[in-house]
Structure 1
Amino acid sequence: MVFHQDDSTSATKPAAKGMLHLFRVRNFVLLFSGQTISIIGDALYAVALPWLILTNGGNAQELGIVLAAYGIPRAASMLVGGWLSDHLRPRQVMLIADAVRLLLMAVLAALALEGHPTLWQLCAIAVPLGAFSGAFTPASMSIVPDTLDSEDLQAGNGLMMASMQGASLVGSAVAGVVVAAFSAGMALAIDAATFLVSAFSLVLMRTTPRVTASTQDAAPSEEEKPAASFQEQIGFWQYLGSSRLIQTNLLFFVVSSLIAGGLIEVALPALVHGPMHGGASNYGAILASWGAGALGGSIFAGTLGKRKHKGMLVLLGGLIVSVMIALLPIGGVYGAMACMLIGGIANSGITVLLFTAIQLSIPSHLMGRIMGLLMFSSLGMYPLSVALAGILSNQFGPALLFPVGGLVLGLAILFCMTQKAMRDI
C-alpha cells in the first residue's frame, strides 16, 4: 500500500487512463468478472429464499428467524475474516469462503428441489452461510489494493461498486423470471453455480507480493525511511488509536448503520404500504431508483481521478443523502423515487472516494483487520436498527422516522466536517 509517492516515480509512471484502462490488468479482470457473477447469484438468493419459505407454508416470522440466523453470524465473523485476510491473504480467504458457500448452497438447492425444507434445516444452513459470507466481506474489500496500483485504486473501487449495483439489478430481475418460470430451488442452484465461477476466477489470479510502502516507493528519501518503517511495524491497536480518519469513520458508520437498515427494510415498505397506498411494485421501483443512482454515482466517482478537496466532496455528498432521506415521505411514490435516485448517486459516489482514501491510509499488513472492523461497524448494527424502526414505526408512524433519521445523519456529517482528517482526504 502506498503511503508516499516519490515525485520522480510518479513522473515516470503513466497515469490511469480512465476506468477502461483497468481491463488490461489480468488479476483485476478476473476479480471483476468473478465477483459480478457472484453478486448476480446473491440477488437470486435474496429473492428465492423468501419465496421458498412463504410458498411452502412458512410465514414472515419464520422468514425473520432464518434471516437472523444468517445475519448475526455474518456480522460476528467480519472481525475474524479481517484477521484471516491479514494472515492468509484476501484471495485465500475469499476462495475458502466461496468453496464452503458453494457446498452449502448446493445442499439448500437440493432440499428445495426435492421438497419442503424445514425451519431447522434452513437455519442449519443459514448460520454457516452467514458466517462465511461475513468472513468474505473484509477480504473482498482488501483485495482491490492488492490488485491495483494506488493511482488506479479509485477507478477500481468505482468499477467494483458499479458492478455490484448493476449485477444486483440484473440479478433481481433474473431471479423473478427464474422463480416464476421454474422454482425457488432452481434459482438457488444457479446461485450455487455462481460461487463456482467466483472461486474459479480467484484460482486463476496470479499471486503477487503484498505491496508495502517500502516495495512500492522507488527511492524514498532519508526522511521518509523512518516513517515507512514505522508504518510497516505499527500494531493494530496502536494504529487504531492514532488514526483520526479511522476513528471518525467508525463512529460515522455506526450512526449510518443504525439509521439506514431500519429505514430501508422496515420504515420504507411500511410507508409505501400505508400512507402512500402503494404496492410491492411501487416499493420495488423505489429501491430500483436507489440502485440506478448508485450505479451512476459509482461510475462518476471512479472517473474523478486525482481531484483536490475530495474530503469536502465526501462530506457534501453525505449532506445530500441526509436531505434526501428527510424529504423522502414528501411527494408520494414518485417523490420517493426521485429522492432515492439522487441519494443513491451521492451515497455511492462518496463511498468510492471514502473507501479509496481509507485503503490508501491503512498499512498493508493491517488492511484486513481494519476493513473487517469498518464492515462490522457498518453492518453490525442492522439487527438493532430494524428492531428500533419496527417499534418506532408502530408508535409514531413510518413517515416521521425519515426526517428524524435524516437529521441525525446530517448531524453526524457536520461532526465529520470538524475533523481535519476528513476534510483533508
Structure 2
Amino acid sequence: MSVNPAITTTAERVVPVRPAHRDPNVLRWLGAYTASMVGDSVYYLALSWAAVQAGTPAQAGLVMTVSAVPRALLMLGGGVVADRLGPRRVVIGSDAVRCAAALAVAALLALTSPGLWPLALLALVFGTVDAVFVPAVGALPARVTSHGQLARVQGMRGLAIRFASVVGAPLGGLAVATGGAAAAFGLAGLLIAVSVPLLVSVRIRELPADDRASASGGTAWRDLVVGLRHIRRHRVLAPLVLAIALGDLGFVGPLNVGLTLLADERGWGASGMGWVLAGFGVGAGAASLLLTVRGRLPHAGQVAGWSIMAGSLAIGALAYAPTVAVAVGTALLVGLLAGLSGALCGALLQTQADPAYLGRVTAVSSLVSLGLSPLSMPVSATAIGAWGCGPVFLVSAAVCGLGGVVALCVPALRRAELPR
C-alpha cells in the first residue's frame, strides 16, 4: 500500500510542546537567570556594607543611588541595543562585564583600602550595564520557549527572584563575615560568572528575515521612535504599559519605605516588619508557583485587572491592620495578588509585542518600574511624615487601583488571552 508523502510529512512535523519546567533549554536559561540574580543580591549587600564602612551614611546613600541615574537615562537606548544585537548576546556580554567589574573591585579591596571611589565607579558600571541588561533579560524568555509556555516561564522567573532574595542576603552576609567586602564582591562576581556558560548553551529561536529587518532598520534614534510608535498604536500594549505604570507607582512607595514607617508608627519593631515582609514574599512565591504549575490562566487580561484592583484594596487595608498577625496576612494577600498580576502582565507583554520590538517594549515597561516608580519613595516618606501612614497608603492604593481600572475598561486588554 502506498503512503501519501504529504500525510507522512505532516505527521512527522506534529511534535508535542514540552512544558517549560521540563524543557532542558528553559532550565538552562532559568539556572543562568537564578545565578545572576543571586549574584546581584550578594553584590548589593556587599556594596552597601563596603560603602558604610568607607564613608559617612550620607556618602553611602549616594553610592547606593549612583546606579539609578544611568539606568534611567539609558534604558530606552538599551532596548534598541537588545533588539539589534539579540537578547542572549546582550545578556552574556552584560554578565561578563558585571562579573569582571565585581572581581576587579574585590581584588582592589583585598590589596588596598581605596575608599569610596571604586565603589561609586562599580555602581556606575552596574547601572550603565543594567540599562541594556534589563530589556534583554525581559526579551529573552520569548526566544527560548513557545508563546504558550510564557506564563509558566514568568512563574518560574518569579520563583527565581524569590529564591535570590531569600538566599542572596545570607550568602552575602556570610561572605562579609568570613572575608570582608572583598570576599562578598568576589562571590558576587563568581555567581554572575556561572550564568555565562549556561547562556551560551541556551538555544534561541531566530527571528524571521522581516522581523530581523524591523529590529535594525535604520539609525538607533529611528529604531527607538519606531518602537515607541509600535507601543502607542497597539490596542493591547499601550493600555497594558499604562496599567503596569500605575500599578507600580502605587505599589513601590508603601511596600518599601512606607512599610518601615508603618512598623515604627505601630511599634512592631524590626522583627514585626520582617514578618510582614516574609508574608509578602510567601504570597508572591505562591503566585509564581501557581503559574509554574498551571502554565496558563484563562481570561488573562481580566484576571490581571481584577488582581490589580483587589491588590490595591489590600494595600490600603495594610495601614489599618490592628496587629502584626493581621498585617502579615494582609501582606501575604498583597504579595499573592501583585505576583499574579505582575506575572500575567509580563506574559501578555511578551506575547502581544512583535518579537522584533520586544527589547524596546520591555525597556519602556522597565523604565516605568525601575526609573519612575522609585521616585515615589521619597514622596511617600515625606507625605507619611506630614499626614501619617493611613492617608498615604490609601492614596497609593487608589493610584494602584487605577491600573486595574485601565485593564478592565479597555476592551482589547480586558479580553486579551495568553496563547495555548
Contact kept in structure 1, 2:311 and 2:334, CA below 8 Å: yes
2:292 to 289, 298, 302: 302
Aligned equivalents of 1:98 and 1:214: distance in 2? Answer: 26
1:155 is aligned to 2:157? no
Contact kept in structure 2, 1:212 and 1:364, CA below 8 Å: no
Aligned equivalents of 2:95 and 2:379: distance in 1? Answer: 33
Please give the secondary structure, in 2, of the residue aligned with 1:380: helix
Aligned equivalents of 1:279 and 1:293: distance in 2? Answer: 22
Residue 33 of structure 1: CA displacement? Answer: 0.6
Contact kept in structure 1, 2:247 and 2:308, CA below 8 Å: no
Counterpart AA for 1:284 = G
Provide, for residues 48-78 of structure 1, a one-character-per-residue CA deviation record: whole Å limited to 9, x for no partner: 222222234431x223211221112122222
Which stretch of structure 1 is more off in the superposition, 307-316 or 140-149? 307-316
Query: Could you tell me which residue of structure 2 aligns to residue 278 of structure 1?
Result: 268
Please give the secondary structure, in 1, of the residue aligned with 2:236: helix
1:99 to 96, 99, 108: 96
Equivalence map 1:172-191=2 (5 Å):
172-191=169-188
Aligned equivalents of 1:278 and 1:54: distance in 2? Answer: 26
Provide, for residues 361-385 of structure 1, a one-character-per-residue CA deviation record: whole Å limited to 9, x for no partner: 1111111111111111222113421
RMSD: 2.5
Which stretch of structure 1 is more off in the superposition, 178-187 or 411-420? 178-187
Residue 236 of structure 1: CA displacement? Answer: 2.5
Distance 1:323 1:113, change over 3 A: farther
Aligned equivalents of 1:173 and 1:355: distance in 2? Answer: 29
Distance 1:116 1:401, change over 3 A: farther
Residue 169 of structure 1: CA displacement? Answer: 1.1
Query: Could you tell me which residue of structure 1 aligns to residue 348 of structure 2?
Result: 357
Contact kept in structure 2, 1:276 and 1:333, CA below 8 Å: no
Provide, for residues 182-204 of structure 1, a one-character-per-residue CA deviation record: whole Å limited to 9, x for no partner: 42331221001112111221222
Provide, for residues 104-157 of structure 1, a one-character-per-residue CA deviation record: whole Å limited to 9, x for no partner: 111332344345442333222211211102210110111111000122222122
Residue 15 of structure 1: CA displacement? Answer: 4.7
1:267 is aligned to 2:264? no
1:385 is aligned to 2:376? yes
Aligned equivalents of 1:15 and 1:202: distance in 2? Answer: 22
Identity of aligned residues (%): 26
Residue 39 of structure 1: CA displacement? Answer: 1.1
Equivalence map 1:185-200=2 (5 Å):
185-200=182-197
Question: Normalising to structure 1: TM-score of the pair?
Answer: 0.85
Query: Could you tell me which residue of structure 2 aligns to residue 231 of structure 1?
Result: none
Aligned equivalents of 1:353 and 1:261: distance in 2? Answer: 18
Query: Could you tell me which residue of structure 2 aligns to residue 141 of structure 1?
Result: 138
Query: Could you tell me which residue of structure 2 aligns to residue 218 of structure 1?
Result: none
Residue 391 of structure 1: CA displacement? Answer: 1.7
Aligned equivalents of 1:16 and 1:357: distance in 2? Answer: 20
Counterpart AA for 1:21 = R
Aligned equivalents of 1:349 and 1:283: distance in 2? Answer: 23
Equivalence map 1:198-209=2 (5 Å):
198-206=195-203, 208-209=205-206
Provide, for residues 282-307 of structure 1, a one-character-per-residue CA deviation record: whole Å limited to 9, x for no partner: 33332222222211101202333444
Which stretch of structure 1 is more off in the superposition, 320-329 or 89-98? 320-329
Provide, for residues 254-274 of structure 1, a one-character-per-residue CA deviation record: whole Å limited to 9, x for no partner: 3233333322332211221x2
Provide, for residues 83-118 of structure 1, a one-character-per-residue CA deviation record: whole Å limited to 9, x for no partner: 111100001111111111112111332344345442
Please give the secondary structure, in 1, of the residue aligned with 2:206: coil
Query: Could you tell me which residue of structure 2 aligns to residue 126 of structure 1?
Result: 123
Number of aligned residues? 393
Please give the secondary structure, in 2, of the residue aligned with 1:331: coil
Counterpart AA for 2:272 = N
Gaps of 5+ in 2: 1-9, 213-224
Distance 1:383 1:296, change over 3 A: closer
2:65 to 65, 68, 71: 68
Aligned equivalents of 2:138 and 2:228: distance in 1? Answer: 20
Gaps of 5+ in 1: 1-7, 216-233
Query: Could you tell me which residue of structure 2 aligns to residue 29 of structure 1?
Result: 27
Counterpart AA for 2:78 = G
Contact kept in structure 2, 1:315 and 1:416, CA below 8 Å: yes
Aligned equivalents of 1:253 and 1:359: distance in 2? Answer: 14
Counterpart AA for 2:280 = W
Aligned equivalents of 1:86 and 1:140: distance in 2? Answer: 11
